[in-house]
Amino acid sequence: MTDFWANRRVMVTGGDGFLGRRVVARLGATSATEIFVPRSADYDLRTKDGIDRALTDGRPDIVIHLAAVVGGIGANRENPGRFFYENAIMGIQLIEQARLAIVDKFVTVGTVCSYPKFTPVPFKEDDLWNGYPEETNAPYGLAKKMLLVQSQAYRAQYGFNAIYLVPVNLYGPGDNFDPKSSHVIPALIKKCVDARESGADHIDVWGTGSASREFLYVDDAAEGIVLAAERYDSADPVNLGVGHEITIRELVALVAALTSFVGEIHWDAGKPDGQPRRALDITRARHRFGFAAKMPWDEGLRATIDWYESRPTRRRHVDGAEG
């Protein structure tokens, strides 16, 4: 890091979340003067009052906006209106109030769900507008993509230094393993571990297994976000990823092997696969601010499984000590 962070105050929305904790830790290694995390219990960022109070209390020079209402395919299908409204209203008001508060720089972390359903692989940032997102998560993806429009419009009219990053699916220790809202990797890990420990002879998996996904280790994502906040000042959106994909069928087999689950995989083809393929072109991030992911895939997946299996709360539940 350079002296860019010296005497700068940073506000990280969603800073107590899965990705946010890593971003805060990475910022802690810089010379930033103060890192402010407005927690939802104290600041409702869906309201103008909550945003105004957060900006007044944090007095940030830089805002990194990570807060979002998120979930896997099931959660998106059950909450399309909520996911659209809360993500859109939070981001739109936050960018506007940050502009009025004369924040020096605003970093929006968007979503790969904003890409069109049938984007050519690898996804290039210039393809973001060449079609409609995959239906199951389109409301969420479009709400986040509106923040790209706002960022570019505010740069053009007001000279507001807003940048927009598009990370691919994240994973790692500390992920959300709640089956009602988790994404694919933690959901599969939980299914396999729980089935192994209960002696179940199979697990049920949504879809056909033919869809593909790209996964970025959460610490690598945090590194990319902090690098962009320091080094990148342009209207163009930028992908954050690793540049290669794996099919869900291959992923299930790998997770089963790493968790020592030997039962059968029952595919529920009546459930959606989601977007057919996801793999990003990561050239722009490398060229514009020198980001390249470092965590080897097998090592990152093993670390995520180990974290889940070692959680005391999970062990107590398995042993029957928690209802």
Rg of the chain (C-alpha set): 20
- Measure the CA–CA gap between 9 and 36, rounded to whole angstroms: 8
Cross-sheet strand order for the sheet of 162-167? 34-36, 9-13, 62-65, 105-109, 162-167, 238-240
AA letter at 251: L
Q: Report DSSP letters for 207-256, one per residue.
A: S-S--EE-EEEHHHHHHHHHHHHHH---SS-EEES-S--EEHHHHHHHHH
Give residues with Cβ within 8 angstroms of 163, minimum separation 6.
105, 106, 107, 108, 151, 228, 229, 232, 233, 234, 235, 238
- 43 labelled catalytic: no
Pairing of strands 246-247, 212-213: antiparallel
Catalytic residue among 43, 140, 164, 308: 140
Asked if 188 and 171 touch (Cβ cutoff 8 Å), the reply is: no
For residue 92, which of 51, 41, 126, 53 has the smallest C-alpha distance?
51
Supply the residues annotated as catalytic.
140
